[in-house]
Chain A
Amino acid sequence: MEKRLFLSMNKKYTLLIIVGIVILIVVPFIGNIRINLNSLFRHTSDPHNFIFWQLRLPRTLLAFIVGSTLAVAGLIFQNLFKNSLATPYTLGVSSGAAAGTVLAIKLNLALPFLGLGGTYVYGFIGALATIAVILAITRIVKSSSIYTLLMSGVALNFFFSSLILLVQYLLDFTETVSVLRWLMGGLTVTGYSEILFLVPLYIFFIVTTFLLRHELMLISGGDQFAQSKGIDVKKLRNGLFILVSLIVGIVVSITGPIAFIGMIVPHISRLVFKEDFKAVTFMTVLMGGLLLVLTDFLSRVLIPPVEIPVGIITSFMGAPFFLFILISKLKENHA
């Protein structure tokens, strides 16, 4: 029985990996301009060559890394708070990062010597500050219940949205359009600097998540349960908060906030792989990346030559999908 279960699991993995590779190879070729195969090996001054190697390929890779990161960050938050509604997006961490980044841009707080203009430092600070406020609240009321956390997140979300609007309204209108565009979430890049910057962080993040899979799994069974099995819940939670705000802060400063990936991907992974947490984690890593690659692909090809900001599409697809899951879950619970 164990053996057959293992085999079928292996088949699901293999299928997913093959589908993933096919998607990653095919997607950069298709778009407003169709790339033909032999242009790939021509000189870099060839427009097709440039579009493929400098625009579409880095964009696809960025989409994969970002989607995968957001999905895993969502999975971690869901397990820490035992609730599929708790993600960096819903707790205000993403909007904290966005507010930090917008302030940095508008007040010229960039730190160019740190690469990528350094705005990500402020994204990280914004994300971390959000978490610090949430933790301070839980300390004051001496409760870290889901209710406390989610409600703090709602309040912080409102606060940061207003802060962004205020800064937008008061200061220099010249960049308002580009900031607005960034706030809608997008993956447009030229070349590989963002990707080279993200890859080591991404690998560190994913490896850490896999190393902590036992702890993450047990903490989803409740803090007291996890602690009674010897897990230092406080330490684990604080460490993961810092790690997630670092990675989410950086990602948001590059792409803008992209909603729902962190909520939906772990949810579907759990629907497919149920209680097998290792498989759920693996699926979340892969599917998070692929889903954003495909969504970004849609954003390029739906109404050419217009590119719809990818954040708008994830919200459009994500919100009804999430409601559907929520309703079916509630119905099941009350049946």
Chain B
Amino acid sequence: MIEIRDLCYTRDKRYILKNIDLKIQPGDSWMIIGPNGAGKTTLLRIMCGLLKDYSGSVRIDGKEARNTTPKEIAQSLSYQPQFDEFSLPLKVLDILMAGRYPYKSFFKDYSEKDIQAVDQIIRMMNLEPLVNRDINTLSGGERKKVTLASAFIQDVPLILFDEPFTFLDPAVISGLKNIMNSMNRIGKTLVVVSHDFEILFPASTHILALKNGQVVYNGPRNFDKEMLRQTYGTHFERIFHNGKEIIFIDE
């Protein structure tokens, strides 16, 4: 699905990422962790074709990322940026329809099939009350739900998230987490960059830990205190409560 070999990325002669190897398989749920400035967002942006001046190899469905068009990439994966920049009026329905844009030919409008696909997700995610509103009038949580729905409508096997939970209240976070979990259950591959370790760790299948642009750990999830201490410089503990895994910082 995504195969990264010996990836390096420099800016102003400084390594942002150094010698990264990573293999993401269909159905995986990856969590990318690491302190601020570790290169997590850069890695994500390279994976979705936004940064092309890297060295090494990044293959998306077998094709080198720097040689793909945005449209090709949009048919393989969807990227959820950390901050959305909505400032001019934009209708929720149009944002949802944008999920079908990668499949639309330039001179044609959206087809009946596109409209049905969007309609189905609107019903599934209970977005009916929002569709005719301006995205700028929605709450942070509603917005995230809309952009998530748009990625869902995009009908791609892989979704990349950059800090999906910033500025959201706990109830909204828990709702989003449930949507993401069910996405993974129906076969979507997820890659999530996040500091919300306690929330996401239990649901992940794989972990990539970065520090100063280098890999600390890369592989199946296991609760490795030493690895976490090396990554964050903090001591983490784990307990089980009603069969649920709870991770916290133990100072």
Q: Is the CB of B50 within 8 A of A277?
A: no
A-B contact count (CB 8 A): 92
Which A residues are in CB contact (< 8 Å) with B11? 142
Which B residues are in CB contact (< 8 Å) with A233? 70
A76-84, A189-197, A299-307 - interface stretch: A76-84
Closest approach, in angstroms, between the C-beta of A9 and any C-beta of chain B? 12
- Give the complex CA separation of A83 and B89 in angstroms: 11
- Give the complex CA separation of A228 and B75 in angstroms: 9
Q: Is the CB of B91 within 8 A of A275?
A: yes
- Give the complex CA separation of A213 and B71 in angstroms: 17
Which A residues are in CB contact (< 8 Å) with B79? 224, 227-228
Q: Which residue of A lies closest to B133 (CB)?
A: A275
Q: Is the CB of A230 within 8 A of B88?
A: no
Which A residues are in CB contact (< 8 Å) with B74? 228-230
Which A residues are in CB contact (< 8 Å) with B49? 227
Which A residues are in CB contact (< 8 Å) with B101? 214, 218, 229-231
Closest approach, in angstroms, between the C-beta of A70 and any C-beta of chain B? 19
Within 8 A of B (CB), among A173-232: 211, 214, 217-218, 220-225, 227-232
- Give the complex CA separation of A156 and B85 in angstroms: 26
Closest approach, in angstroms, between the C-beta of B64 and any C-beta of chain A? 17
Which A residues are in CB contact (< 8 Å) with B71? 230-232
Within 8 A of B (CB), among A136-156: 142
Closest approach, in angstroms, between the C-beta of B37 and any C-beta of chain A? 17
Cβ of A274 within 8 Å of any chain B Cβ, yes or no, is: yes
Cβ of A276 within 8 Å of any chain B Cβ, yes or no, is: yes
Contact among A83, A218, A228, A230 with B87 in the assembled complex (CB-CB below 8 Å)? A83
- Give the complex CA separation of A223 and B87 in angstroms: 12
Q: How many residues of A contact B (CB 8 A)?
A: 29
- Give the complex CA separation of A167 and B200 in angstroms: 65
Q: Which residue of B lies closest to A280 (CB)?
A: B89
Which B residues are in CB contact (< 8 Å) with A211? 106-107
Given the interface contacts A229-B98, A230-B74, A231-B70, does A222 sit within 8 Å of B88 by beta carbon?
no
Contact among B50, B87, B133, B150 with A227 in the assembled complex (CB-CB below 8 Å)? B50
Q: Is the CB of A82 within 8 A of B87?
A: yes
Which A residues are in CB contact (< 8 Å) with B88? 78-79, 82-84, 220, 270
Which A residues are in CB contact (< 8 Å) with B81? 222, 224-225, 228
Q: Is the CB of A274 within 8 A of B89?
A: yes
Given the interface contacts A230-B71, A230-B73, A275-B89, does A218 sit within 8 Å of B98 by beta carbon?
yes
- Give the complex CA separation of A217 and B79 in angstroms: 18
Interface string of B56-94 (1 = CB under 8 A from A): 000000000000011101110011110011111111001
Q: Is the CB of A222 within 8 A of B70?
A: no
- Give the complex CA separation of A84 and B89 in angstroms: 11
Q: Is the CB of B85 within 8 A of A225?
A: yes
Which B residues are in CB contact (< 8 Å) with A224? 50, 79, 81, 85
Q: Which of A5, A84, A223, A229 has the largest count of B CB atoms less than 10 A from its CB?
A: A229
Contact among B85, B89, B151 with A222 in the assembled complex (CB-CB below 8 Å)? B85
Within 8 A of B (CB), among A88-137: none
Within 8 A of B (CB), among A269-321: 270, 274-277
Q: Which residues of A contact B (CB under 8 A)?
A: 5, 78-79, 82-84, 142, 211, 214, 217-218, 220-225, 227-233, 270, 274-277
